[in-house]
Every structure is written in structure tokens, then in C-alpha cells.
Chain A
Amino acid sequence: MSDTAIAYPGSDPRQLRSMAGAVAHSGPASKRIVTAYGFWIFILSDMVMFSAFFATYAVLLGQTAGGPSGHDLFDLRNVAVETAFLLASSFSCGLASIAADTRSTIWFQLAMAVTCAFGLGFLAIEGNEFASLVARGAGPTRSAFLSAFFTLVGCHGLHVSAGILWLLTMMAQVFAKGFRADIQRRILCFALFWHALDIIWIAVFTVVYLIGSAR
């Protein structure tokens, strides 16, 4: 039996596989692709988590338990400023990735600082909105609608806070270590994270604020 396998080397499945592999691809992907792709999978799973919060909010939109509805509570001018801040920070984050690729330390630090400033401005407005809602007796315990609202928007705000901590870490690492290959990979992942937060905010201002304040 084993003689036939030796006589026909092409019939050895291990050998066949290695030959086919040599034709199909010529080695593993670079570390930059593997790292960014893994982080891309994480971002998509994060969006799946957010979709559950969005579904909860959409289901509970009318369950105000006799309390205030979105129409009574939301200030769309505030939301427009928040949106502008987050969009501007996403744009300057893109400039920071270009500066990282061209290895320009000054432009990188400047663009990251602008990104950080807009992010902090966004958080300040959101914190102010939450505080005024609680002060008016419309806290997360008032109704199912407000519980869903604070969970969804608060979860996005937590992501932005974590993103700002990460942003400051990247500024410090570029300052201390320069544009090493591993630092560049972290910058790429951070840019993916920050742009993804802006994409989630599009859904937040549309579903939560614009549609939520219509009724």
C-alpha cells in the first residue's frame, strides 16, 4: 500500500496541497495588513453591538411612561454643533494619518491636537446635555425611552472618551519613539476607530435626534 504512495508522489495529499499553495499565494500578508484587518473585524463587531442598542431605542421610542418625549427634550442646534465638531475631528484625524505616512512630526502632532480639541468639545456639549436632562427630571430612570437614550448615546460618548485617551497615547508615543513600524500600525488602527465613531454618530443624530424628535 505504502509502495503505491511512494510510486506516485502526486497522489500524496500533503504534497498536492503544498504545490497548490505555491501557485495560489506566495506567503503570509504583511503585519500591517494582518493588524489592521483584525482591528477592522473588531470595529464591525462593535457596530453589531451598537445595532442592538439602536434596535432597543427604536422599539422603546414611544414608551415615555407619561414623561417627556424626544420632541420636548432634544435641542437640535446643540446636536448640529456636536455633529460639526465630530466631523471636523474626523477630517483632522485624516490629516494626521497623511502626516504619519509622510513622517512629518509637527503636522502629525498639530493635526492630532486639533482632533483632540474637537473631540473634547463634543464631549463637553454632550456632558452638558446629559446634566441638563437629569436636572430637569429626565434622567435615565424616568422612562424606558430615556433609559434607552442614555444607554445608546452614553455608550457612544464612552467610545469617544476612550478614543481621546488613545489619541493622547499616540501623540506621546510618536513624541518618544518616532514613526516606528509598530507605532504606524497603532496610528492606522486609531484612525479606523475614530472614523468608525463618526459613522456611528451619523446613525445617532439621524435615528435618535432627528427621527426621535419628530413625534
Chain B
Amino acid sequence: MTHGHDEAFDHADVAPGDEHEEGGAGLRVLGYLAGLGLAILLTATSFFVAGTDLVWEPSIPVALVVLAIAQMGVHLVFFLHITTGPDNTNNVLALAFGVLIVILVMAGSLWIMANLNHNMMPMDRFMQMQR
């Protein structure tokens, strides 16, 4: 990736989406092909697991979530070029904060709503009290 390396003072950072390596176009295409292959593999596994009887049934949703998170990682690394290198610190920190908020919103909503649902009086008893 040539951009961001033209100016000497930019060596410490890489823009999100830009690749760090100076490799040629052929090497970069290979990187995208590797990402595509892994993504196809994980997607095919997801669809197979969802429709099969070979896996213990209660484990299927957990397996699907794990496969999805793995595929998101593949997309982040091979398509968005987010790395753990020192030139990506800002990008990774912003991503980490975003992931934290996403987890809080999703897990918090599910937890609170399940709790409310559990503590709510059954509807038939509620109707009796209304009379």
C-alpha cells in the first residue's frame, strides 16, 4: 500500500482499510482470495450445521454464533486489513470500543427482557385479579 507512506511522518499509522505491505497487486489479490476461501468454508459450515441431525441439537445455536464470529474475524483481517500491528492501534481501539457497546446492548437487552419475562405474573392470574 503506497498511500500514507509518502510522507515520512506518517510511518506510525495506517488508515483503516489500507494494507501495510508494499507487496504487488498479485500478492494483494491472493490475500483477498484467501479471505474469500475461508469465508466460503465458514458460511458452508454454518448452513450445514443448521440443517443437520449429526450435531447435538442444543449446541447448534452456540456453534452458529461461534462460526459467525470467526467469519467476521476473517472479513476484518482479509478484507478490511485490521491487524494487531503498531500501525493499527487506533483502528483496533475504536473497534474494541464498538464491540464493547454492541455486546452491552445485545447481552443487556436479552438479560433484562428474559428476567422481566420470568418475573411477570402469568396472564391468566393477572386477568383474575382484574375482576
Interface residues of A, Cβ cutoff 8 Å to B: 25-27, 29-30, 32-33, 35-37, 39-41, 44-45, 47-48, 51-52, 54-56, 58-59, 76, 80, 83-84, 87, 90-91, 94-95, 97-98, 101-102, 184, 188-189, 191-192, 195-196, 198-199, 202-203, 205-207, 210-211, 213-214
Contact = CB atoms under 8 A, between A and B. Distances in A.
Nearest to B47: A80
Contacts of A210: 46-47, 50, 64
B110 A198 contact: no
Interface of B: 1-4, 6-7, 9-10, 12-18, 25, 28-29, 32-33, 35-36, 39-40, 43, 46-47, 50-51, 60-61, 64-65, 67-68, 71-72, 75-76, 79-80, 90-91, 94-95, 97-98, 101-102, 105-106, 108-110, 113
B106 A192 contact: no
Given A25-B12, A47-B98, 15 more contacts: A33-B13, A47-B102, A48-B105, A52-B109, A55-B108, A55-B110, A76-B50, A87-B43, A95-B29, A98-B25, A101-B2, A188-B18, A192-B80, A195-B80, A207-B68
A33 B4 contact: yes
Centre residue among B17, B51, B91 by max chain A CB count within 10 A: B17
